[in-house]
Amino acid sequence: MIGFLQRVRRAWVEVDGHRVARIETGLLVLVGMERSDTHAIGARLLQRVLDYRVFPDAQDRMNRSLRDIQGGLLLVPQFTLAADTRKGNRPGFSPAMPPDEAQALYGELLQHARTQHPIVESGVFGAVMQVSLTNDGPVSFWLQVRNEMAVR
């Protein structure tokens, strides 16, 4: 499972001209699911997202996590993160989890996030979304958790 984290001052998602999610200071996380991903992998990615130290402390060092600052978490499903871009000029999507499985796994991830953190918002699975953000820094990180058995 892939999480592309962006530290934001604010972020929101619109679908068909309607705002469906919004956070202030926190993390916008684009989430891509691969065929071998599981609930356990999603739980591990979520734990890393919540505990990843990307917010400044009193000495302006990235030493505080989303949990520490009680910031907002905006999760946005994005299947294109799982694209195979190794060759040619067009991405391939064979590594991506099939949509029905990915939607169920994303729903589990979102539900789990809401039990672990007080401010969780979400994009809409399968919708064409407009994602707006003010990246703070800019600070962005790619986190990936893999099923060790599938990597072999």
Q: Which residues are catalytic?
A: 78-80
Question: Is residue 127 within 8 Å of residue 2, measured between CB atoms?
Answer: no
**Class of residue 61 by CB neighbours under 10 A (exposed 0-12, middle 13-18, buried 19+):** exposed
Q: Which of 138, 26, 137 is nearest to 75 (CA)?
A: 26
Segment (H or E) for 132: strand 130-144
Name the token pair of 17: 């001209």
